[in-house]
Structure formats: structure tokens, C-alpha cells
Amino acid sequence: MDVYLVQNSRKVLKDGLLKRSKRRWSPLPFNIIENDVPPFPKEVDLVASDSSAAYKVYYTLSGPGVTEDPVGVFSVVKETGMLKVHRAVDREVTPQFIFQARVFDRYTNQETDLPLPITVNVEDVNDNAPTFTGQLQFTVLEQSNTGTVVGKVNAIDKDEPDTDHTKIRYSLLSGTNLFYINPETGVISTKTDTLDREVNDKHLVTVDIRDMNGALNGLSNTATATIVVGDINDNPPTFKKTSYNVSVMENQEKGLILRIPIEDKDLINTPNWNSEFIITKGNENGNFRMERDPKTNEGLIYLTKPLDYEKTKNLKLDVMARNQAELSGTNAKWVSIPVDVTVGDVDEGPEFTAPIVRFTVQENTPNDTLIGTYTAVDPETKSSAGIKYYKVSDPASWINVDESTGQLKIANTIDRESHFVVGGVYNVTMKAVDASRKTGTGTVIIQVEDMNDHVPDILSKDLVLCEKDGGEMGSVLVVAEDKDQAPFSAPFSFKLGEKHDDKWAVKPLNSTAVMLAQTKELPTGLYTVPLMVGDLQGFGSTQTVTVRICRCRNGACLAQQNSTSLGVWGILAMLLGLALLLLLFLVCSLWTNNNIHSPLPTSSFTLSATMSILYRIMFTWSTFSLQKLAYLGTEEEGRYADDIIHTYGFEGVGSPAGSVGCCSDQVNQEDLNFLNTLGPKFKVLAEVCTNK
């Protein structure tokens, strides 16, 4: 291979110095064959610079394949520029090398030309067989049309792209009677429409891939592709028998009575196999239901309502089996089989003519009145002979039952307003007993009709009317109720009784209430007012209400206390207690002062003067208090309730002496003997007064 060196400038001698001019190296790329065989090294081609004509030069190489990984693949003969390769190269690992050549003057070691990039291409040989990629398992539904795509086989080849070395051709080595593969694309398709999952649910086909476009000298690989045949619902469920029989006793409790096994060729535990069962005939009364056993796929018939032998001795059911999925790819239909149900006879207890019977009775109907008859019959004989009747439940004991005939009579007064009557209905439970002691029960519903046996009654007859200022007239609400129902109750009529005193008037409010209003200004006090209250039928009575007119706070009369209720001696005792308390403080003070500073005569004089002053103060106070009490006594009851003595909280909690007030625990306020038994209270006061 030749190397062309293009010179575009020359060296010139100037000022006695050697100058280097630019050059351009333009060699063609070098080629080597991958996986070349020994011996090595082998010559590749010359790398030469046209500066070698003017200078004595040498060559160097650097870069990948020389001084960088992979190191030592190439070298250059220093003096001649011959490029050599030292070992085999794999194109699939390194398809190309690019490294750099440089040329130097042997004497000055100066470069005589610009550096030259060297490209070495590795030529491909067909040393890699094609390989399969991706999955080799496909699915196609049974009975698919001819030409239905099953899947695509994928393969790759590591050799040079876009050459025969990587041009792959596909072929089938087996399964060619059912499937076809496109030789260029690898797509597998069906060759027939007869695939049947129930005959063969899986096919194994051998696929061959070969490069060199399938030539005999091409490299190849084979693999097995698995083609699964998918299920369609082309097989309906079938019964193992042509009919079934089952026996059920009458009055048998609900539960499983029959299992019906089936067969289905479709794929197990899929909608194509899962069964569903329908009773298409004979279950008009809803005595049965069907379910599927999820483990066995069997049909299960359940009894949901007891059967009656006397009414039905035999039932013929038609049971159809189908799948959850609709049929496909077949002309078959869902199939049904007959199921014969035989009902067994049981000796049963008597049955009442109806489970529930209703009679209408007016309240207060006289005792021993016949209200009706409730009888039972033997289900087998349809006769009432020998049956006895009893009460099971009669909460208010209002009914008597004739044991032999089942006649119902009034035993006690029926009251519609009784709490035993709910919504106007009273219930009695009865029992019928036959000769074999078997029983049956029934319910008697008594609809109680209302009578006008109650008059309207005023709910609250003690009323409060708060006194208003400025002579304004007040009124109070009067409400009545009647235990009877319409038309024997509201709307009510209200009017004043015959003996009223014209101080009050009735003002309608609604159907059950009026306002009782003053007609003139009235002082505080109690007033009785007769009121005649009647129902819609005019049935009623005169009732008396009491109206208290008073001064109010928050809608209630003020406390009815009289300021003089404490009594004169009570007030005096309180004042005396206060005076004695002050006296004790003064005595303590004087006693302490006397012991420290003053002689006894001075102390005695001071004590005497103090007592005199206290005496004057205390009965001045008592005179004033008596005048105050006399004034309060002339006022109306409760008028000055805020101006009297009040009891306040106990302040001695936690103290061994309790409250230090000397009178705080005295009940009899006129007894002054407590002065001799002050005990710990005085001790507390003394400690306060003592100068420590």
C-alpha cells in the first residue's frame, strides 16, 4: 500500500537559520485482517514523510494500539517507517485503531514534518454464527385461521453489519405441517385452521438460523420454539348421568340436598371450564337454589324453603349447565337434565287456619264479649277434632280462650291508652295442641278502636306570672292534652268557669293551648281561676289553675324571705358578737402594753373608758337596726330580698378552730353562754394579739 505525502511548502534558509514549513500527510487508511494467523510480527505498510528526502529522519508512533491500550499491537521500524502488527486482532472487540506518527531529524531531534494521524481498519471475517435473542415461546388460539401470526423469532450476528456475514436466513426443521416461518423476517404463522387444544395443547418446532444469506458455507444455530395452543370455549359442560333423583322430607331445614358432577374438556379453572347452573323449570316457588363447587366444578342444589308433603309430594326440576364464557368455535348447545325431587311425609303439629288473624274491638267493651274464633286443623287429616287451644302470650290478660272451640272473649277492660297497645294494636299469641302433643302457633292481632273516655287535662295547674312595670297586663300559657285520638281529642275549647271574677280572659293560641291574660292590674299574690276545657266532641270538665303573680328574676319568683325573720334578739346577738370581737382585740392590746410600759392604774382606767365607748356604739347600732327592721317589716313580701342578711361561704376550712368568728356556729342567736366556751377560737385571737 502506498503512502502519499503532499508537500505544500518548502524549507528556506534565512538569516543562516533552518526554518520548517507546514506539510500535510494524507496517507490512505491501512487495513489488517482480524484473527490473522501467525507468525508475527507482520508488515503492514510504510509510513513515510517526504521530508526524508531532505533530512536524515527517524519515526515514532504513539496512541491506542501502540503506547495505550491495547499496548503493543503495532510498532514502526524507526529508520524506515515500516508499520508492523504483532498479534491477531478481533474486529468485534476493536474494529479500528487511530494513533499518531511523528518524524524527527536524527541530528537535531527536531520534527521535520507535522504529526500524522494513522488509521488502521480491521477487516471482518465470518467468525461469528448468528444467535437467538428474546423468548422462543408463543401462543396461538386453537382453530385459528390459516396465516394467523404466532410470533417472531429474533436473532443477531456480531460480524460486520450490512454484509453477507450478518445476513440471516430463517427456516423450520420441524413442525412444517402446521407452521411456516418467513425466511427473511423470522415471523411464524399457522399453515392450517385445525389446531385443537383438546388434542394437543403444545407444539415444539426446531428453528434454524444461518448467516451468509443461508448459504451452505454460512455459520448457523438451531433452537426449539414452544408454541402453546390457547383455549377457546368450544366444549360445553356435559352431565355424567342422564337424570337424578333426590328425596327430601317435608319441613326439612334448608341445606345441600344434591351434588351433580359434570365434565368439561376446556382449560381447567378458566371461564371456559368454570360452570354455572340454572334451574330452568320446577322452582317457581323458590324452594331451591343452585351454586357451583369451586373446587370440583360440581353443581350443588340447596333447599331454601321447607316443602309441604300435603301440598306437594313430588317436584320435577330441569337443571341446565353452562360456562361462565359463551361458546365459541362449535355448534354445540348448553344441555339440561331432569332432577326428580320426592317429598317425604312427616307427622306435623296442627296448623291455624291462618298464621295471623285480625279482630277489631272497641275499648271498654264489656267483659265476656265474644270477639272471634281462631282454630287450627291437622295437616294430614284436615280436621280440627281433638285440638286444644291455649294462650302463649297475653301481656295485659285481656282475653280468655275457650280450650275446646278457640273462641276469644273479653276478660278485662281493654284500654286503648294502655302502654300494652302500640299503634292501636294489641297482640295475643296462641298455641294449638293435638292429641299427640304436637303444637302449632298463631298470632291474634286486636285492633283497638278508640272511645271518648278521657277529657282534656291541663298539664300544669300551678302557673307563675311575672309582675310587669308601668301597669302592663301579663299573661300565662295554659296547655292541655287528651289521651284519646281524633276525633275525640283536639282541637280543644277553653272558657272561664262560671264562678270566675272577671280578672282574667282567655285568648286562643292553637288547638291545644290558650293564653290566660289579666284584664285588670292585680297586686302580687295567689289567684285561682276556673277553666272549662272540652274536646272536639264537647266532652270536658272544669279545672282550676293557680296563678302566682310575683316579682321575678330570670322568669322565677324571687325568694320569699322577710327581713324581720331574724328577730330583734338575733340582730342584737350578731351586733354583740361584733362588739365582743373588737373588745377582745382591745383587751389584748392593752394587756400587752400594760406589761411593757404602763403601771396597773393607767391600764384599768383605759379599759374602763374603752368599755364605755363600746357600750355606746353597740346600742346606737341596735337602735338603728331596730328602726331598719321595723321599716322592712312594712314592705311587701320579698320586695327587699336583696337588702337582708345573707349567708356566705365558710372561711375556716383546714383550721383546727374553724372560723374565728365567735358566732359562726351558733344556732340559737339569743343564747350568750358561748362567751364562756370560746376554747380554741379565743386562743387563735390571743395569738394574733400577742407581741412575740
Give the model confidence (pLDDT) of 248-278 as tens digits.
Answer: 998 899 999 999 999 999 999 999 999 999 9
Cell of 547: 296563678
Q: Which CATH code is given to the segment(s) 352-449?
A: 2.60.40.60
pTM: 0.50
Band of pLDDT at residue 622, cut at 50, 70 and 90? low
CATH 2.60.40.60 domain range(s) in the chain:
5-123, 131-230, 238-344, 352-449, 457-557
Q: How far apart are CA 238 and CA 631, in angstroms?
A: 115
- pLDDT higher than 70, residue 498: yes
Higher pLDDT, 453 or 378: 378
- pLDDT higher than 60, residue 63: yes
- Helix (H) or strand (E) segment spanning residue 608: helix 600-633
Residue whose entry in the numeric block shows the C-alpha cell 282454630: 375
Provide the Cα torsion 597, 602, 607, 610; round to 10°: -100
Mean per-residue pLDDT, 210-230: 96
Helix pair angle (600-633, 568-596), 10° resolution? 160
Higher pLDDT, 587 or 546: 546
Band of pLDDT at residue 672, cut at 50, 70 and 90? low
CATH 1.10.579.10 applies to domain 5-123? no
Mean per-residue pLDDT, 172-185: 97
Mean per-residue pLDDT, 628-646: 45
Q: From residue 539, give the alpha-carbon distance in Å to each of 122, 417, 446, 455.
A: 127, 17, 27, 6
Instruction: For domain 131-230, give the fold.
Output: Immunoglobulin-like (2.60.40)
Span 327-380, pLDDT tens digits: 999 999 999 999 999 999 887 789 899 999 999 998 888 999 999 999 999 887
Q: From residue 177, give the alpha-carbon distance in Å to each of 206, 224, 367.
A: 13, 16, 101
CATH number assigned to the domain with residue range 238-344, chosen from the 4 options 3.30.9.10, 2.60.40.60, 3.30.1960.10, 2.120.10.30: 2.60.40.60
Band of pLDDT at residue 653, cut at 50, 70 and 90? very low
Facing residues of 364 across strands?
none
Q: 212: helix, coil or strand?
A: helix
> How many Cβ atoms are within 10 Å of 129's Cβ, its own excluded?
17
- Average pLDDT of every residue of the chain: 82
Contacts of 64 (CB under 8 A, 6+ apart): 70, 97, 98, 99
What pLDDT is recorded for position 607?
A: 46
Of the ranges 81-95, 438-452, 549-563, which is most confident?
81-95
Burial of 449 (0-12, 13-18, 19+ CB in 10 A): middle
Span 402-429, pLDDT tens digits: 999 999 999 999 888 889 999 889 999 9
- Helix (H) or strand (E) segment spanning residue 192: none
Band of pLDDT at residue 490, cut at 50, 70 and 90? confident
What pLDDT is recorded for position 449?
A: 82
Span 283-312, pLDDT tens digits: 999 999 999 999 999 999 999 999 988 889
What pLDDT is recorded for position 580?
A: 60
Q: Which of 410, 387, 413, 415 is nearest to 400 (CA)?
A: 410
Q: Which CATH superfamily is domain 457-557 in?
A: Cadherins (2.60.40.60)
Residue whose entry in the numeric block shows the C-alpha cell 415471523: 187
